[in-house]
Amino acid sequence: MKDFKNYSLKEHNTFGINAKCKRYLEFESDVEAIEVAEILRKSQLPYIIIGGGSNLLLTKDFDGIVVRSGIKGYQFEESGGGSQEAEVRMTCGSGEVWDDMVATSIEAGYYGMENLSLIPGDVGASAVQNIGAYGMEAQYLILCVRMIEIATGKTWTIDKEACEYGYRQSRFKHDWKNRFLITRVTYGLSKTFRPNLDYGNIRAELERKGIQEPTAQQLRDIIIEIRNAKLPDPKVEGNAGSFFMNAIVTKQRCEKLAKQYPDMPHFEVDSRHEKIPVGWMIEQCGWKGKTLGRAGVHDRQALVLVNRGGATGEEIVALCEAIRKDVREKFGIVIHPEVNII
């Protein structure tokens, strides 16, 4: 187990903010997770649980304990069931890099994760954040989550229904926040590749390359190319990917806005709701490519806030609030950060 005092978190957040915590704990097994839970119970210090730091904005030093999973490893288990969920179970350590597991599943000939390629972060975060992209969300793959209850040290394995997943939401972000240390996540994959090509510009990119029936690897490569073209490399320009959640509004509200803004993109969520891309709204407010202090809005994707160099967490929050104010005044919609602000 890693146990450091007065520890810099600069390498643990993709904004590159040089904040410190009083103590840093990283567990590498279930046994160590139980030990960490005991430390947290006995300590009088506050604590937070992080993953790869790709969804984290630090605004100051944290006068407490930061906990992270370092559990590695994965295994596949095939079954004779006919459903996609039952065909293959892939169980991954919560400290594994998510995109490494996507690549591993494809190499093994098991499918379902392709559209979630290149999403930053760890496996444990997929269960907390319900990560999603290009028409797929983690909740459609997750079968169960293994975790240690901090208050008791007891080990639990819960199915996905208990997690109450929604758009970028789960109980781990609400009533279960900081209550459990996730150690493993099990996903249901298929031995048959069923490509999902109907979101974003996937089909257009495939057609441009002359690919009519892509393999899983080709689909992954296309999605990686699309994401790399839109999103800055955090090693070059600090960022946390999409900073805001897309807006979910009623169909009536969407229809009213569409009359006012005929070119407004929107996508059906269910029979009563539509999703409006917040990046489009931010761009309409004139923020794309703009800078406020040392924080800015990415010039290719307005949903991404970036550290232009030396920005503090407070500067990025100030930019966030200025954007929220303009979107609210122009569209009457309150947008919310997807990033966890500490």
Which of 84, 53, 50, 70 has the alpha carbon at shortest distance from 1? Answer: 70
Catalytic residue at 242? yes
DSSP state, 28? -
Query: Cα–Cα distance between 217 and 294 in angstroms, integer?
Result: 38
Catalytic residue among 26, 274, 315, 338: 338
Which of 268, 265, 267 has the alpha carbon at shortest distance from 283? Answer: 265
Task: Return the exposure string of 301-331: e unless at least 16 CB atoms fall within 10 Å of the residue's CB, then b.
Answer: bbbbbbbeeebbbebbbebbeebbebbeeeb
The radius of gyration of the chain from alpha carbons, rounded to an integer in Å, stands at 20
DSSP state, 52? S
Helix (H, G, I), strand (E, B) or coil at 339: coil
Catalytic residue among 117, 126, 170, 242: 242
Query: Cα–Cα distance between 33 and 307 in angstroms, integer?
Result: 33
Catalytic residue among 168, 184, 220, 324: 168
DSSP 254-303: HHHHHHH-TT---EE-SSSEEEE-HHHHHHHTT-TT-EETTEEE-SS-TT
Tell me the two tokens of residue 207.
């057609």
DSSP state, 157? E
Query: Cα–Cα distance between 174 and 172 in angstroms, integer?
Result: 6
Q: Are 92 and 126 in contact (CB under 8 A)?
A: no
Catalytic residues: 168, 242, 338
